[in-house]
C-alpha cells in the first residue's frame, strides 16, 4: 500500500486541557518554501455518534492510499482507467479526518460546536508538512463521511463556515439531530450522576 505523508494536529482544547485532534494527509506535491493554497476534503468517521475516532473506517479507497503505482506516470495513465486513478491525494487535494465529541457524555450541540471549531481552525491555519506548508483554498472545501459521519457532513453545511462546496454522504444518517432526547440526554445524565445515588439512575 502506498503511504502518503500525514500528521496529527490538535485543533481545539476542552476545558483548557483535553485536546481534540485531526489527521491531515498531504498530497504528493513538489517541495516549496512558499505557503500554497490547496483544496481540502474533511472526513467525519462513522460509528452511530457513539463510537469511533478519526482513524476508524478511514476511506483509504477515496484518499488514494491503495494505489500501488505512480498515478502521475504517463504510461500508467494510458493503461489504467481515469476513474481508477482520480482519488483525493493524487489529484492534489489535502485530506483531513477529524475527531468530534460523541453522544454520552457529549450532546448534539457539542458535536456541532466541534464541527464549527474544526472549520474555523482549517480556514485560519497554515498547516506545515515535510515538503511544503499549505492553507485552505476558501472556495474549494468539501466534506464526506459514512453513517454518523454523513450526518456530520450535512451539519457542517448547515452550521459551519466556510460552507462546504459539496457533500459525499456514504449511507449517511438523517432526521432531526437536535431532538430533545439527544440535546437533553447529557444534561439528565450529569444531573443524575452528580446529585443522585447510582441506584436511582434509570
pLDDT per residue over 96-153, tens digit each? Answer: 999 999 987 888 899 999 999 999 999 999 999 999 999 999 999 999 999 999 999 9
* Helices 148-159 + 108-124 axis angle, to 10: 70
Q: Give the confidence band of 196 by pLDDT, cuts at 50, 70, 90.
A: very low
What long-range pairs does 54-62 form, CB within 8 A, spacing at least 24? 54/21, 54/22, 54/23, 54/97, 54/98, 54/99, 55/23, 55/97, 57/146, 58/97, 59/144, 59/146, 59/170, 60/1, 61/87, 62/87, 62/88, 62/95, 62/144, 62/168
* Helices 180-195 + 108-124 axis angle, to 10: 110
Q: Strand pairing partners for 35?
A: 133
* Mean pLDDT comparison of 13-17, 164-168, 188-192, highest-scoring range: 164-168
pLDDT per residue over 59-107, tens digit each? Answer: 988 888 655 556 566 666 666 666 556 688 888 999 999 999 998 788 8
Q: How far apart are CA 96 and CA 6, in angstroms?
A: 9
- What domains lie within the chain, and their CATH numbers? 6-174 (3.40.50.1820)
Question: Cβ(91)–Cβ(28) under 8 Å?
Answer: no
What mean pLDDT value characterizes the chain?
84
- Whether a cis peptide bond, with omega within 30° of 0, leads into 105 is yes
Amino acid at each position: 500500500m502506498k503511504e502518503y505523508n500525514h500528521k496529527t494536529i490538535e485543533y481545539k482544547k476542552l476545558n483548557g486541557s483535553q485536546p481534540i485532534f485531526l489527521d491531515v494527509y498531504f498530497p504528493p506535491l513538489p517541495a516549496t518554501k512558499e505557503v500554497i493554497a490547496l483544496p481540502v476534503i474533511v472526513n467525519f468517521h462513522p460509528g452511530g455518534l457513539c463510537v469511533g475516532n478519526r482513524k476508524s473506517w478511514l476511506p483509504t479507497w477515496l484518499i488514494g492510499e491503495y494505489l500501488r503505482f505512480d498515478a502521475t506516470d504517463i504510461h500508467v495513465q494510458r493503461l489504467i482507467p481515469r476513474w481508477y486513478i482520480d482519488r483525493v491525494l493524487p489529484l492534489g487535494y489535502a485530506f483531513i479526518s477529524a475527531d468530534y465529541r460523541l453522544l454520552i457524555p457529549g450532546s448534539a450541540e457539542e458535536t456541532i460546536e466541534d464541527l464549527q471549531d474544526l472549520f474555523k481552525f482549517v480556514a485560519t491555519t497554515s498547516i506545515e508538512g515535510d515538503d511544503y506548508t499549505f492553507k485552505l483554498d476558501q472556495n474549494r472545501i468539501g466534506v464526506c463521511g459514512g453513517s454518523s459521519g454523513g450526518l456530520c457532513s450535512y451539519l457542517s453545511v448547515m452550521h459551519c463556515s466556510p460552507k462546504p462546496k459539496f457533500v459525499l454522504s456514504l449511507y449517511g444518517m438523517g432526521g432531526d439531530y437536535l431532538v430533545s432526547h439527544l440535546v437533553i440526554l447529557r444534561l439528565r445524565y450529569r444531573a443524575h450522576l452528580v446529585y443522585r445515588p447510582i441506584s436511582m439512575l434509570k
